[in-house]
Amino acid sequence: MNYKPPLELVSGNANNNITASVIWLHGLGADGYDFEPIVNKLNLSHVRFILPHAPEMAITRNSGYIMPAWYDLYGAPNSKTGSGVEDEAGIKNSQHYINGLIQNEINRGIPTERVVIAGFSQGGAIALYTALRYSQKLGGILALSTYLPIKSKLSTEKNIANQTIPILMAHGVFDDVISLDMCKISLQTLHDNHYTVSWHEYNMAHSVCNEEIDDIRSFLKRVLP
């Protein structure tokens, strides 16, 4: 896969004492610049934000159209189970790449417990998949308008190092891309696997709202003080 260098953002003075990192993954068809305005609104001067760009690939569900994506999508998921045929190989490729970005932050002196993995939509799916399997304790997960992929394997593949990781899940009541019901199936899977999740619903579609940004800021201040 061909990955462009990620966008890096620091609020305020570039000489700030950076003590934490947030790796934030965009959704299908977007790029790392998609969440730059929101990062600027968060105004967390001690945090380095890493906004990677997904590689371009043909998306089966979109008639083979080539676009930035963290993995391929096939048919629509089953509305009752929240699952369908999934691109497990593609998901694992993205997991490997994100693991490398975490290692980059470790090499820069950031402890793993001061690294948060965040993502929106397809990026949020990778954030959940990667962080719950990571072998060292991470700071938290931001799962925005998303779902848990490969749910059936979580119980055997999760890593005890992140069994108590703080998780914020946020979803729009009117989301017609990833339905609220599908997200709640993922929430139940997390509960069944004994994860504690801070759950938030908003009167929005497949997007981000100001109330959500405030909740994200509060979450990051709590897990990355």
Residues catalogued as catalytic: 121, 175, 206
Q: Are 133 and 40 in contact (CB under 8 A)?
A: no
The single residue listed with the structure tokens 């929005």 is 204
Q: Which two tokens stand for residue 124?
A: 């949020």
Residue 194 in 3-state DSSP? coil
The single residue listed with the structure tokens 């699952």 is 83
Strand 20-25 and strand 56-59: the pairing is unpaired
How many CA atoms are closer than 13 Å to the CA of 149, on its beta-carbon side? 27
Residue 70 in 3-state DSSP? coil
Give the residue among 134, 72, 69, 66 at the shortest CA–CA distance from 98: 134
Which amino acid belongs to residue 60?
T
Q: Are 166 and 141 in contact (CB under 8 A)?
A: yes
User: What is the C-alpha separation between 143 and 86, in angstroms, rounded?
Assistant: 19
Q: Are 117 and 23 in contact (CB under 8 A)?
A: yes
Give the residue among 127, 133, 198 at the shortest CA–CA distance from 163: 133
Q: Which two tokens stand for residue 195?
A: 């994860």
